[in-house]
Structure formats: structure tokens, C-alpha cells
Structure 1
Amino acid sequence: MSTSVNENISGFEKVSNTITTYSGSSPVFIAAVALILIWGISGPIFHYSNTWLLIVNTGTSIITFLMVFLIQKSQNKESIAVQLKLNELIAANNNASNRLLNIQDLSEEQLNTLYEHYRTLVELTQKAKSNTQSHSVEDAIESTEEAMKDDLLKHDKN
């Protein structure tokens, strides 16, 4: 029983995907600008009445309210998809560490601490002049210490 991935998508999902795609397109942007221009030009015709003002205020408020949730839904979906793709790449690479597969579940403080560890890793691998020499902060420290010892031994011989 072979089913297409798109066959399992709900009606709401299809509608929200379509709206997300079209709302970010050039024709929709041009249409939005045209509507605002028409509304602005019609001001003198309606004597800049409260109803005239209310039309654009209400319309933009409703659209903005709905778009916030649509954008967040789209962002959540894209984030999960990117995480899954990255996890697949990590799992497929024999040299990659899988310790960070669920990193998105860490707190911001834990992420900042981990970020500092990886900044240290970058600095140490740059000193070792090899970006593929190590795969963890611990390995980088160890290999850098070994390289520094080797440099000291070479220096002592001279």
C-alpha cells in the first residue's frame, strides 16, 4: 500500500501551506500595495470619514492577527523539518558526534554554555591548523596540548 506524502496532509494543512506560499509572493504584495493606494485615493471621496478609517484599521488588524499564527505555524513546521534533515546528516556521517541531536530541547542557558564550549573548540582547532582533527571539545583540548608539547620539544632541540 503505497501512499504519497501529500495524501496524508489534512485540509487545514493544505490551506495553510497555500496561504503561506501565496502571501509571500510578489503578486500578493503588489495587490496589497494597490489596495492601500486605492484606499488612500478614496479618502477624499468619503471625506476621510470614520468608516473610511475603520475599513483599513479593521482589515489590517484581522489580517495581522491571523498572519501571526500562520507565520508561527509555518516557522514551527520548517524548524522541525530542518532539525530532522540535520539529524539525518549527522546520523549518516560516521565522523559526526550524535551528542547534539536533541539540542533544541535545551534551555537557553544550556545552549549558551554549549556555544562557549564550541567557541573554545574552534579556537583550539584553529591553533592546531586542522578543522577535521577533532570532534569534541575534549578531543580538541587534548590534541592541542599534544601539539603544544611537540612544538616545545622542537623548540628545545633548536
Structure 2
Amino acid sequence: MSAVRRGFERGAKAAARFTGHPLCFGLAVLVVLAWVISGPMFGYSDTWQLVINTGTTIVTFLMVFLIQNSQNRDAAAVQIKLDELIRATRTAENALLDLEELDEDALERFRKRYEDLACQARDEAQRRGQPTGISAER
């Protein structure tokens, strides 16, 4: 892994931890309050408005990439954990490993297959008089 990528990952993790902390939210509130309070001093000028608009646009733009990086990392970790649970379960279907890499049509076929299995299991439980946790209104 390159030094640039390692640096980005370390920075992204640190930024995600910081921006998710209540202190960061408090700092953002203080910045907005300072901007609002300074309005009369600047006569609510166009430049005064431009400062907050530009600042929030830049922060939002950067946060999109930070959030996406964090979600990608979290999703990959969850997928790996799920793959390991499937792999380690003797009766599990190993064809489900790496399922997230399939195209939409293949995913839809799997989803339909498991939806049908779930319906069959609920019907069987109902025939035996066992609760299914699913209301009859469905």
C-alpha cells in the first residue's frame, strides 16, 4: 500500500472520529453563532453571507467523500464478517460468499429464492400452530 493511501486512510479515520464527536458539533454551532452575531457588524452584506455559504459548501463537499470512505470501509468489514460466518457454518450455502459482487439480476434471483424459502417456512410453522411473528395483514 502506498504512503499516500495509508496517509489518506489514517486521515479519513481520524477526521471521521472527530466529526462524529459532540465537540465537533459544538464547534460548528459556535461558528454559526459567531457568524450570526457578526451580521450587524458587517451590515448583513453580501460578503458576510458569502462567507457562511462558501464555508458550508466546502465542508459539505469534503464530508461527502469522508462519509463515503467510512461507509465503504464499514460495509467491506461487515461483508467479510458475513462471509466468514457463511464459510464457518457447515450447512450454509457457500455460493452466497461474495454475493455483493453479483449483478442485479443474480441478486434478484437469490432474493426471490430466499423469499420463497421464508414463505414456505412461515406456512409450515403456521400449519404446526407455531407463531411466525408475521401479522396476517401482510
Percent pairwise identity: 44
**Corresponding position: 1:53 with 2:49:** yes
**Corresponding position: 1:99 with 2:63:** no
The equivalent of 1:88 in structure 2 is: 84
**Cα distance, 1:88 vs structure 2:** 0.8
Higher relative contact order (CA 8 A, sep 6+): 2
Among 3, 6, 11, the residue aligned to 1:10: 6
Unaligned runs of 5+ in 1: 1-8, 131-146, 148-158
Q: Which amino acid aligns with 1:103?
A: L
**Cα distance, 1:128 vs structure 2:** 2.3
Equivalent pair of 2:86/2:96 in contact (CA under 8 Å)? no
The equivalent of 2:125 in structure 1 is: 129
Alpha-carbon distance in 2 for matches of 1:90, 1:26: 37
Alpha-carbon distance in 2 for matches of 1:113, 1:95: 20
TM superposition outliers: structure 1 runs of 4+ over 4 Å: none
TM-score, length-normalised on structure 2?
A: 0.81
Alpha-carbon distance in 2 for matches of 1:12, 1:57: 27
